[in-house]
Amino acid sequence: MIFLLMMLNQGDDIPESPSAKISLLCHTAMRKGLISEENKLTMEGKNLLAFLDSPSEETYVKQKRPVEEFDRWWKAYPGTDTFTHKGKSFTGTRSMRVKKDECKLKLNKILSEGEYTIDDLIAALEFEVLQKKENSVKAASNKLSFMQNSLTYLNQRTFEPFVELIREGQKVIVQNEPPKTFDI
């Protein structure tokens, strides 16, 4: 398994149809969180290789994600699709935070891949929610009701385009006053 991790770290690819042994090694490494489903090293896999390269006599301890990271994300996720924005109230019909334990596992898996930080995910979530609230005010209908529940949001990686928008410097334009119109 270490050789597999070293191979992936050097940029080598796993063959399209690997042998049964290689396939089993890949599956085990994925289950242990050392490689992602795309056969890329996760942060945990990189940490393990770095540990093996160090002259330390200590034993390797798998890093656990701080509980606060998930709690911050969970609190940022809207509880329901009912909200008030710019003095306008919108009534929703459902709870949006579901299956907390499954969400925690999925969020930790996403973070362990190393592509996104918890700050990226929270910023993307806040960006999307604010965008939906702004659009709700413009359209006079609840656009937040079209947002996925928390588990589906993570499973389908809905945050990815919003992370990219934020990294490009995009911001939701918040209008404090309604646009002025004139009757002719």
- The pair of three-digit structure tokens given for residue 151, joined into one six-digit string: 């588990």
pLDDT in tens, 137-147: 888 888 888 88
State CA 30 to chain mean position distance. 18
Determine phi and psi for 61, rounding to 5 degrees.
Answer: -120, 125
pLDDT category at 155 given cuts 50, 70, 90 is: very high
**Under a CB-based contact definition with an 8 Å cutoff, are residues 46 and 56 in contact?**
no
pLDDT tens per residue, range 4-55: 888 888 888 887 777 888 888 888 887 777 887 777 887 788 888 888 888 8
C-alpha to C-alpha distance for 77 and 110, rounded to whole angstroms: 16
- The CA distance from 33 to 112, in Å, is 7
Predicted confidence (pLDDT) per residue in 86-137, tens digit: 888 888 888 889 999 999 988 888 887 778 889 899 999 999 999 898 988 8
Burial of 130 (0-12, 13-18, 19+ CB in 10 A): middle
